[in-house]
Amino acid sequence: MPSLLHTAYSVSAIRTAEQPIVAAAERIKPDGLMQQAARAVADVALSLLSGVNTPRVLVLAGSGGNGGDGLYAGAFLAEAGIAVEAIATSASGTTLPRATEAFTKAGGVLVDAPTAPAQLVIDAIAGLGLSAGLAPELAETVSHMVSRGAKVLAVDVPSGISPDTGDPLGPHITADVTVTFGALRFAHTVSASCGDVVVADIGIAESLHTMNGPRVYAYRAVPADHSWPDTVTPLPAIPAINSMEPRPTDHKYSGGVVGLLAGSELYPGAGVLCVAGAVRATPAMVRYVGAAREFVLHAIPEVIASSLATAGKVQAWVAGPGGATESELLDLIRRPIPLLIDADGIRLLAKSTHLIDALRQREHPTVLTPHDGEFATLVAAIGIPEAATANRLAACHEAAQALGAIIVLKGRRTLIAPPHGPITSIDAGHSWSATPGSGDVLAGVMGAWIARYAAQDKPLAEAIAIAVHLCADAAWLSAQTNFGAAPTSASRIADAIPAATARLSNK
């Protein structure tokens, strides 16, 4: 698991853990904890403004504690010589008195509308307290600033985003960076509107760790190209892996043999990409069964091609990228080894109660790797209401329990949901994986790692997280050129898997 700071909790859990800390801090110094949080916001703001000549900052300050955080942060920035304006965003126009006094005393100016373009907007409107979207005129103010080049720094959670689900509540802020306090909120693990997320320690993480209730572990594959101040910490990468060099006694069968049912006459490339991912992921043998045999062997001669009936030793199967039949999938579901089902395999499941029933009866691990569209189809087939899918965390957890499978919901922030226990979220740190065929590569890489961990009798959840991280990092590496980043493709992502593996084993 990641550090306590990088575990996500519900709003109710956060508030319960905060109450005694806030009460103790208030007895020592009024607004003391608020000022501690504001200092972290100001430090991040200064780092975002580094290199900007004569910067200006606009604080959008609500009437509650979130607005207080923003005004105190604005006071710190004004004391540092930065021009800071603030708009009171509540209908009543009220803000916290002590924070407002500190802001104006430091040189900050309260305005009804910005008097000049700002390079940074601090969203301190509501944080955890908003139950609806932003007023349209407020959203328009932020949009106008962003169109003129301003960055947005959100305090706690971007306003208009549900902190418990990450779902937009209506018009909302999309932040470049979000600073949160003590630990993560669920929204940080699912919502792209949060941007880069950093956490300031305010002493509640240990209390949260002892509480019962749901939690999510959060990681990031490719770190932000930014130097953060010491008062905050960004999401960590998953733990480093050991060297992938085979031991003197190892051979092609000892590292975990994966079998791939992938590709078809219509989609032969899916088979090639899936096999390429598996071959480049580990030193072990890769077996291929499928209708794209000639394409696969021509592109990747290292693979061993056979049929389902004649395939030899296999320690994990992958089924579905680019093609599978219902009878083939049923055959693999009945085999007593780990099974990963992707793409066409998931679509077959969603159409067949017979396959779903067989899947539920499996006693060995099953991994399903849908993208959003496939996930919506799958959960509809097992009776989860469409409205429930807006809460990605809850829907993944419910689907995992209903099917007895590990759900890997792919995206910029990929969710790994086991039937029991915490969900893991991995933010890729970029969106270069959004290209055709990248899911086929991921299926091959993940299948190879699942086979490797099955052979070593190690937790498959770790293998899944490694595969997600490696493919995210490989996608980023594959997009780099001598002139900067540029569009990539799935075959280039597969080619970059060894480099990503070396980076993870040597970090």
CATH classification of the domain holding 384: 3.40.1190.20
Give pLDDT, residue 22: 78
Q: By CB neighbour count within 10 A (0-12 exposed, 13-18 middle, 19+ buried), where does 349 fall? A: buried
Q: What is the mean pLDDT of residues 294-308?
A: 96
Asked whether residue 106 carries a pLDDT value surpassing 90, the answer given is yes
Same-domain pairing of 202 and 268: no
Q: Which of 154, 181, 215 is the last residue of a domain?
A: 215
Identify the band that residue 1 occupies on the pLDDT scale cut at 50, 70 and 90: low
In a shared domain, residues 276 and 384: yes
Are both 210 and 313 inside the same structural domain? no
Together in a domain, 141 and 210: yes
Structural domain includes residue 250:
no
On whether residue 240 sits in a domain, the answer given is no
Mean pLDDT of 10-16: 91
> Could you tell me if residue 18 is inside a domain?
yes
Whether residue 151 is found in the same domain as residue 279? no
Residue 345 near residue 320 (C-beta atoms within 8 A): yes
412 assigned to a ligand binding site: yes
pLDDT of res. 385: 85
Residues 210 and 262 in one domain: no
- Give the mean model confidence (pLDDT) for residues 415-444: 97
Stretch 430-445: mean pLDDT: 98
Q: What is the CATH number of the domain that holds 30?
A: 3.40.50.10260
Strands 83-88 and 216-220: unpaired
Which residue range is the domain that position 75 belongs to?
A: 4-92+100-215
Lowest mean pLDDT among 45-54, 131-140, 330-339: 131-140
Residue 32 is labelled as binding a ligand: no
| 132 marked among binding-site residues | yes
* pLDDT over 80 (residue 410): yes
Q: Known binder of ligand: residue 282?
A: no
226 in a labelled binding site: no
Instruction: Specify if 223 maps to a domain.
Output: no
Residue 387 pLDDT greater than 80, yes or no? no
| Structural domain includes residue 167 | yes
**In the structure, what pLDDT confidence band is assigned to residue 127 with cuts at 50, 70 and 90?**
confident
pLDDT for 298 equals: 97
Query: 440: annotated binding-site residue?
Result: yes
421 is in an annotated binding site: no
Q: Please state the three-class secondary structure of 250-301 as a single string.
A: CCCCCCCCEEEECCCCCCHHHHHHHHHHHHHHCCCCEEEECCCHHHHHHHCC
Per-residue tokens: 424? 């893991």
Q: What is the DSSP letter of 237?
A: P
Is 123 annotated in a binding site? The answer is yes
| C-alpha–C-alpha distance, residues 61 and 154, integer Å | 11
Is residue 129 a known part of a binding site?
Answer: yes
Residues 413 and 308 in one domain: yes
270 is in an annotated binding site: yes
Per-residue pLDDT, 375: 96
Q: What is the pLDDT of residue 389?
A: 78
Query: How does DSSP assign 167-232, residue by residue?
Result: -B-SS----SEEEEESSEEGGGGT-GGG-EEEEE--S-HHHHHTS-S--EEEEESSPPSS---TT-
Please tell me whether 404 is known to bind a ligand. no
Q: Tell me, what amino acid is at 349?
A: L
Q: pLDDT by residue (tens digit) across 196-247?
A: 999 999 988 888 888 888 999 999 999 999 999 999 999 999 999 999 999 9
45, 79 contact by CB (below 8 A): no
| pLDDT score for 68 | 96
Residue 66 annotated as part of some ligand binding site: yes
Q: 471, 476, 469, 380: which is closest to 2 by C-alpha?
A: 469
209 carries a ligand binding annotation = no
- Decide if 85 contacts 59 (C-beta within 8 A): yes
Low-confidence winner among 208-212, 248-252, 333-337, 486-490 (lowest mean pLDDT) = 208-212
Rounded mean pLDDT of the chain?
A: 94
To which H or E segment does residue 444 belong? Answer: helix 438-455
Q: Domain for residue 451, yes or no?
A: yes
User: In terms of domains, do 345 and 494 share one?
Assistant: yes
> What gap in Å lies between CA 357 and CA 353, rounded to an integer?
6
Query: Tens digit of pLDDT for each residue in 134-152?
Result: 888 888 888 888 888 899 9
The set of residues, in sequence order, having a beta carbon less than 8 Å from that of 359 and lying 6+ positions away, is 333, 349, 366, 403, 404, 405
**503 labelled as ligand-binding?**
no
Is the domain of 75 the same as that of 150?
A: yes
Banded pLDDT at 486 (limits 50, 70, 90): very high
Residue range 63-82: mean pLDDT, rounded:
97
> Is 166 assigned to a binding site?
no
Residue 69 annotated as lining a ligand binding site? yes
Which pair of structure tokens corresponds to residue 132?
């609806």
Pair (295, 407) in one structural domain? yes
Last residue of a domain, one of 215, 246, 277: 215
Is 131 assigned a ligand-binding role in the annotation? yes
Q: Is 68 annotated as a binding residue?
A: yes
Tell whether 155 is covered by a domain: yes
Residue that terminates a domain, selected from 200, 215, 230: 215
- DSSP, collapsed to helix, strand or coil, labels residue 124 as strand
The answer to whether the annotation marks 201 as part of a ligand binding site is no
* 10 known ligand binder: no
Count CB-CB contacts under 10 A for residue 147. Answer: 9
Residue 390 or residue 352, greater confidence: 352
Q: Which two tokens stand for residue 364?
A: 């060995």
Could you tell me the pTM of the whole model? Answer: 0.96
Angstrom distance (rounded) from CA 326 to CA 338: 18
Question: What pLDDT, on a 0 to 100 scale, did the predictor assign at position 126?
Answer: 86
Residue 160 among known ligand-binding residues: no
The number of folded domains in the chain is: 2
Cβ neighbours around 112 below 10 Å, total? 8
Give me the mean pLDDT over the 247-275 stretch. Answer: 95
pLDDT band, residue 25 (cuts 50/70/90): confident
240 annotated ligand-binding residue:
no
| Rounded percentage of the chain residues whose pLDDT exceeds 70 | 99
Are 460 and 357 in the same domain?
yes
Is 439 annotated as belonging to a binding site?
yes
Check residue 246 and report its DSSP letter.
P
State the average pLDDT over residues 33-49.
96
Domain annotation covers residue 440: yes
Whether residue 478 is found in the same domain as residue 415? yes
Write the single-letter amino acid at 382: I
